[in-house]
Amino acid sequence: MKQMAGPIRPVALLGVISLMCLLLMGVPFKASAREVAQVIEAGQMAGGITHYSVRKKDMLLSIRGQFGVSVRSVIRMNHLSHPDRIFPGEILLIDNRHLVPKTGQDGIVINIAQKRLFFFQGGKLVLSTPVALGMPTWKTPAGTFHLVRKETNPVWVVPLSIQRDMKYHGEKVLKRVSPGPDNPLGKYWLGLSIPGYGIHGTNAPSSIFGFTTHGCIRLPANAILRLFHGVMRGTPVRIMDAPILFFQSGTGKSFLEVHPDPYHPGLDLRETFKHWELSRPGLPIDQEKAERVLKFHDGHPVDVSRQVGHD
């Protein structure tokens, strides 16, 4: 079930109602013309390569959401000739390594291209989780916001745009969904300072690590539980769109991670990286290796270090 950005409760204040007018009318958030895909320097590498034993009723989509890896990556790494057939007990190799954007402050960072949320507390990364984000036709807004609301067992007030969509498809038109298993917001809601948008749970775990919402950020059940109890109102939330991440380790190795960017389908990622690299001369990067990573954009950190000759 596709969802709107978040719950909109009846309120008495006319000013708040006015702010939500566009959302109630079904108008998606439009990104600023100044927003372009970015190259971000990472502060660390998280995750790892692991083996996963397929469980009963597992699908590649559920595995994708659990680990935050693309279905294409799982198929390629495991040489699956019939990806619609995975069996209980089958062992899959999963690479869920990812680069963590460098940040100078505590709070929440969401990278749209990575489809991942990071929560920093006490100067340390305490949570890294895959998320679901807005469809390319209804983008998750980039920018700097903060949390203004925490709510348990939220009610979903269905916006007019989705009511019209339900009617168009011959479905029962819902105006309000009470807390419970049918509520697409899950059990927890964290409202952002941009009206109508928020971070919340979901009743559709297979949607995680996809662009499937009407702008909100969906988290797996265990992740939203940890985040909800770990944050307070006023926590800063930075949402960025960085399909290219670069990390230089303490040993001097260079890693490049590149993701497809559905929000900027016409953007030349090679050109974006080239301009960024020119502004940082002297980086020990092997151009051929970097070119391959930019071409295939598999979403994993790849060592692109240039081999240094010995005397």
Distance from first CA to last CA of the chain, Å, rounded? 62
Q: What are phi and psi of 299, to 5 degrees?
A: 85, 20
Cβ distance 188 to 200 under 8 Å? yes
Record the tokens describing residue 100, joined without a space.
């963590």
Instruction: Tell me whether strands 198-200 and 217-218 are parallel, antiparallel or unpaired.
Output: parallel
Retrieve residue 4's tokens: 């709107």
Q: What's CA 3's distance to the chain center, in Å?
A: 16
Cite the active site residues.
200, 216
Task: Determine the Cα–Cα distance for residues 257 and 269; give it in Å rounded to an integer.
Answer: 12
Question: Angle CA(259)–CA(254)–CA(65) in degrees, nearest 5?
Answer: 30
Beta strands in 220-273 (DSSP E): 236-240, 244-248, 254-258
Closest CA to 192 of 200, 201, 183: 200
The C-alpha atoms of residue 306 and residue 260 are separated, in whole angstroms, by: 24
The conformational region for residue 27 under phi > 0 = left, psi -120 to 50 = alpha, else beta, is beta
Phi, psi of 263, deg, nearest 5: -75, -20
Number of continuous H segments (helices) and E segments (strands) in the chain = 7, 19
